[in-house]
Amino acid sequence: MSDSETRPEPSEAEASPEKLAGHDKASSADTVRAEIGEVELIPAEARADKELPRRESAIVLSGVRKDYPGTTALHSVNLAVPRGEIFGFIGPNGSGKTTTLRILATLTRPTAGRAEVCGFDCVREASEVRQRMGYLPDGAPSAADLTVREFLEFFASAYGLTGARRTSVVSDVLELVDLGKKRDVLLGALSLGMRQRLGLARVLVHDPEVLLLDEPGTGLDPRARVEIREVLRELTSLHKTIFISSHILGELDELCTSVGILERGRVVFAGTIEDAKRRAHGSGIEVRVGGGHAEVALGLLTGLEGVESVDVEAGGLLIVDLAAGRSPGLIAERLVENGLDLTLLRPREVALEEAFLSLTDGEMG
């Protein structure tokens, strides 16, 4: 169960998108309004004269706390995400991920602290934030009786786009997410993966600087997840900052430049993926020697100055942890000078899943 399911939020703003000109599908309009939740939509032209603050971080959380009756979802969260990053936000169910995203999306007010997107305060300058942010909640679009084109034109109209400009933007975002050939297909006839890509297209119609994506890979088959991943890579080439919450850690390992790990409402790690792996397992070095002499190598390296620990795994693979600042060269020198055939010497390969398990204890908030 996600954060949003366990801690429902009251509505704090109302969306009022314009109806499609000449399109009278009231039930579909209601469904689409439900898709955008409480986001206040601002005409695209309204931000043309606003100069984006030249700041290094696209997202900043400073001492953010969120209280609910009987519980605290976030405890003084501090986080900064540089512009142009694909930032993975991970944590156990109930850790506060969705609450954090809703605060950044201006849908939930923090109890204390400050949240900023592109230098604008998410409470005091919410309208400025909404012009520069696109939020994709967990779950694919479900307005089954609208075509793909109608669905996107609805949102483009809500953001103040009209006429040829609206047609052009809709066409561009459809091509970006590879749905150009599906423009006249009803949403109800699309696969889950296609509807999720359509959701991405929807948050792109106003050309936001920052994308907030809550579990975009949930329920997708492997092929659909690959397609979503490729779209996200393409978006970074367009200088978008992507803040993505996901529990599919293998994909974040391949996609993200940095990660934040949230547990029980507290950030336990924030930094590059490589830093997370080093924090989890130090400076582990994989070592293998020929001739079945793993035990001999174990004896030679145990107690050697600069070596903190040595373990032998299945198949004779040695894992050597070095003291800070020490070079793997001392391992090679020790083994070779004692006549052993060194066949492998490399930093230990650690998956993001392994780092996550090492840095968290799995408890919920």
Fold of 282-350: Alpha-Beta Plaits (3.30.70)
Which has the minimum average pLDDT: 52-61, 104-113, 227-236, 337-346? Answer: 52-61
Which position has the token pair 């092929």? 223
The residue-averaged pLDDT of 70-74 equals 94
Candidate ranges 51-55, 217-221, 278-282, 336-340; pick with highest mean pLDDT = 336-340
Confidence band (pLDDT; 50, 70, 90) for 202? very high
CATH topology for 3-247 is Rossmann fold (3.40.50)
Mean pLDDT of 170-187: 92
Average pLDDT over residues 237-253: 84
Q: What percent of the chain has pLDDT over 90?
A: 48
Amino acid residing at 269 = F
CB atoms within 10 A of CB 266: 17
Which helix (H) or strand (E) segment holds residue 77: the answer is strand 71-82
Give the per-residue pLDDT at 117: 96
pLDDT score recorded for residue 22: 38
Lowest mean pLDDT among 10-14, 199-203, 230-234, 341-345: 10-14
d(CA 29, CA 364): 37
154-169 pLDDT per residue, tens: 999 988 999 999 999 9
- With beta carbons less than 8 A apart as the criterion, state whether 87 and 241 touch: yes
- Distance in angstroms (rounded) separating the CA atoms of residues 262 and 55: 25
**Which residues fall within 8 angstroms of residue 191, CB to CB, at 6 or more apart?**
224
Mean pLDDT of 327-334: 92
Domain edges within the chain: 3-247, 282-350
pTM of the prediction?
0.72
pLDDT at 281: 63
Nearest CA to 285 out of 318, 260, 254, 313 is that of 318
Q: How far, in whole angstroms, is CA 60 from its chain's centroid?
A: 15
Q: Are strands 210-214 and 241-245 parallel, antiparallel or unpaired?
A: parallel
Tokens encoding 110: 């923090």
Looking at residue 325, what is its pLDDT?
80
- Please return the burial class of 60, using the count of CB atoms within 10 Å of its CB with bins 0-12, 13-18 and 19+: buried
